[in-house]
Chains A and B, each alone.
Chain A
Amino acid sequence: MLNLPELENFEKITAKNIPTENYISPGHRACQGCAEILALGMVMKVAGPNTIVANATGCMEIVTSPFPQTAWKIPWIHVAFENTSAVASGIEAGIKAMSRKGRYSKELPNIIAVGGDGATADIGIQALSGALERGHNFLYVCLDNEAYMNTGIQRSSSTPYGASTTTSPFGSHSIGQTTWKKDMPAIAAAHNIPYVATANPGFHLDLMNKVKKALTINGPAYLHIYSACPTGWRSKPEKGIEVSKLAVQTKVFPLYEIINGKLTITKKINKPKPVVDYLKTQRRFAHLKEDDIKLIQEGVDEQYSKLLYLEGDTQES
């Protein structure tokens, strides 16, 4: 089955009906050119005012909440680095119980857990797995800027192969990051949750529609958002969206969604640009040699073929 019943009357967000209200106010302290805060802003536009956010420790937590200021126009909680999914579980369960007992009379809110790649793929993966498995009705948003950026660009398990970071520096004996990016969406999907998707602020309508779908369906949803980081990637601040688009056009970060187990590539790349075009935009890859780039190109092609296979394979069954 492709669609969930909740998605049957799904009304798409288009350029004409794009939500105009912002729920993260200007004046936050995100770095110049941060595409992560742009992505988070898009998520919140769709989520709207009846939303509660649990935010893991990380860039978005730090830049939006230095007391006595807050950039959040909706209820928001930060507890720790590794447990935002568990906190969201508690919020969901608490409101569910109070609603049943007549002490919460309003429409049930959207509950969104937000974490960076470290909070998602590394330290928080256990709490995330537990929450997905228990089936809480919440959306988990991973804002993936591919390293621990708020502590100063240390590698995470989401850092791509070859990237130089402060704890995976390139040198005469090292290429930089020596492992391939952990496939978090696949891990989330392995929990058999109803909705998993990848998104990218360079494709804002696609991103926002995925948020809307994720919030429409009942049960846990996982959204993995590519979040360009000029500070950590040593890319030009004004090029955030351009770099984001290139990530998709070169197949480095494919856009797809998995609804009830069925994978669909939402932005097909028929004439991909070479990966080197993407790598060139960021100095974290500047040390890579021709052979390294060839290897990365092969890895990217292989990963994309896998997605094509999964898309076709499930269609046949």
Chain B
Amino acid sequence: MTKAIGLEVSLAIAEAVKQANVDVVAAYPITPQTHIVEELSVYVANGELDAEYIPVESEHSALSAAVGSSAAGARTYTATAAQGLAFMHEILFITSGLRLPVVMTVANRAMSAPISIWNDHGDIMAERDIGWIQIFAENGQEAYELTIAAFKIAEDRKVLLPICVNVDGFILTHMIEPVTFIDQKKIDDFLPPYSPALTLDPDKPATFGPVGVPEVYIESRKQCEQALLNSKAVVQQVLEDWGKSCGGKYKLVEKNGNDKAKILFITMGSLGETTMTAVKELEESGESAGQVRIRLWRPFPREEFLEAIADADELIVIDRALSPGAHNGPVAQEIKALLFNESKRPKVHNVIAGLGGRDVTVKDFQKMYAMAKADELGPNYLIWGVRSDA
């Protein structure tokens, strides 16, 4: 393996897309995703990446063009964030409905209003039910490696679904981190060119996206859901293969800290790194704390998650998005629903933290832990750090 170099994570993601040898990049600028597609435009301009770069006039067209190129059989990439993702909303459903393996980075960012360019997960949580595979990266190395693996997952004939790699805006995208690049030869062996099952081919004409009359609509949606559910095994296999041949070992759900800890933090995305430090310090001071990171968000890895929390009495679920009116953040809702029919149900606290880029520190997590122990977190959710004058 080559040496790690200090690099902005966005550029590492662009490198991953280049190494995946994509055919088409559809790009519209939106902060904090821009550095990725800027770098890709440079690769194409320099001839380092042989791809068509489509500088579309909107995110809506970015995904629409991606749908067209993927349906034509080309390996296709795009990236977005927040308002841009929301602008793609309609086409997100169509991409999964048409079973097109588009890969997209979402540089997670808070939604307007008020306008905020900073990180939280409000953008992607509004897109939970679109039938895309969704992965969360925790650091730069992971963002780089998962981006390459994403193509392999999406293009698997058993899957054929779009996938989005969630990367926390700024906190990750603009961070300079040591990243180790994988040798191109290894990637080429791991990821051969896309071989689609069906394309817009004049020699074998097919009709894509016909009218779904009531007699067939439900069945087609069920097939999409089944494909998504089935994709879990493929995600697992691809990540295992990746670990063996190319890079790091990535599980769908990961556990850190004391294996028998009674209180567990549940995190997604980059906050997990801070949580880990907090857990380490708590353990050093004799507390029984642990952490579970959810890497695969859709399809939700139910069995793996239940196994990871089997010994815990209390969960502190950190959400980085509000679900107004639902009395819990989206991740906590998911977990509570999952636990409802289980015989052993740990207590679930829900802390909504770091909205719109508000800093969440190691001390914050330690305080959450202390409050959970003292039963001060309440039965539903708590928005962390709301100033009293607000």
Contacts and interface: CB of A to CB of B under 8 A. Distances in A.
Contacts of A78: 208-210
Interface stretch (A10-18, A90-98, A161-169): A90-98
B211 A65 contact: yes
B57 A127 contact: yes
Contacts of A52: 72, 200, 202
A124 B70 CA distance: 21
A94 B73 contact: yes
B203 A90 contact: no
A280 interface: no
A83 B60 contact: yes
A130 to B, nearest CB: 3
Interface residues of A, number: 50
Given A90-B65, A103-B193, A97 B74 contact: yes
B205 A76 contact: yes
A51 B201 CA distance: 9
A98 B216 contact: no
Contacts of A104: 73
A50 interface: yes
Contacts of B216: 67-68
A225 interface: no
A62, A73, A95 interface centre (most CB from chain B within 10 Å)? A95
A87 interface: yes
A126 interface: yes
A91 B23 contact: no
Nearest to A87: B68
Interface in B119-152: none
Contacts of A62: 211
Interface string B41-68: 0000000001110111110111011111
Contacts of B205: 72-76
A101 B211 contact: no
A221 interface: no
A89 B61 contact: yes
B24 A97 contact: yes
B217 to A, nearest CB: 9
A293 interface: no
Contacts of B94: 79-80
A65 B66 CA distance: 22
Given A80-B94, A83-B60, A89-B54, A94 B212 contact: no
B76 interface: yes
A93 B64 contact: no
A211 interface: no
Among A52, A61, A65, A86, find the residue whose CB has the most chain B CB atoms closer than 10 A.
A86
B68 A70 contact: no
A292 interface: no
Given A75-B206, A79-B67, A127-B60, A94 B52 contact: yes
B57 to A, nearest CB: 3
B90 interface: yes
A86 B60 contact: yes
Contacts of B106: none
Contact of B56 (A65, A67, A89): A89
Contacts of B74: 93-95, 97-98
Interface in B188-235: 193, 199-213, 216
A129 B57 CA distance: 9
B79 to A, nearest CB: 15
A88 interface: yes
Nearest to A75: B200
Interface residues of B, number: 47
* Most-contacted residue by chain A among B50, B73, B205, B210 (CB, 10 A): B210
A129 B58 CA distance: 11
B207 A70 contact: yes
B50 A91 contact: no
A97 B65 CA distance: 14
A52 B200 CA distance: 7
Interface string A47-76: 001111010000001100111101011111
A73 B206 CA distance: 8
A80 B90 CA distance: 8
A87 B64 contact: yes
B68 A106 contact: no
A86 to B, nearest CB: 4
B213 A67 contact: yes
B207 A89 contact: no
B310 to A, nearest CB: 44
A261 interface: no
A91 B57 contact: no
B105 interface: no
B188 to A, nearest CB: 13
B58 A126 contact: yes
Contact of B71 (A66, A91, A106): A91
A91 B72 contact: yes
Contacts of A66: 210-211, 213
A82 B57 CA distance: 13
A146 B76 CA distance: 36
A223 B205 CA distance: 24
A65 B72 contact: no
Which of A52, A65, A72, A93 lies at the interface centre, i.e. has the most chain B CB atoms within 10 A of its CB?
A: A93
Nearest to A76: B207
Nearest to B74: A94
A131 B65 CA distance: 10
B91 interface: yes
A150 to B, nearest CB: 11
Contacts of B58: 126-127, 130
B100 to A, nearest CB: 10
A93 B54 CA distance: 8
16 contacts: A50-B202, A62-B211, A67-B216, A75-B202, A75-B204, A78-B208, A83-B64, A85-B61, A90-B54, A90-B64, A90-B71, A93-B69, A95-B72, A98-B74, A104-B73, A106-B203
Across the A-B interface, give the 4 residue pairs with the lowest CB-CB distance, nearest first.
A90-B68, A130-B57, A94-B69, A94-B74
Given A67-B212, A94-B23, 6 more contacts: A76-B207, A94-B71, A94-B76, A97-B74, A103-B193, A133-B57
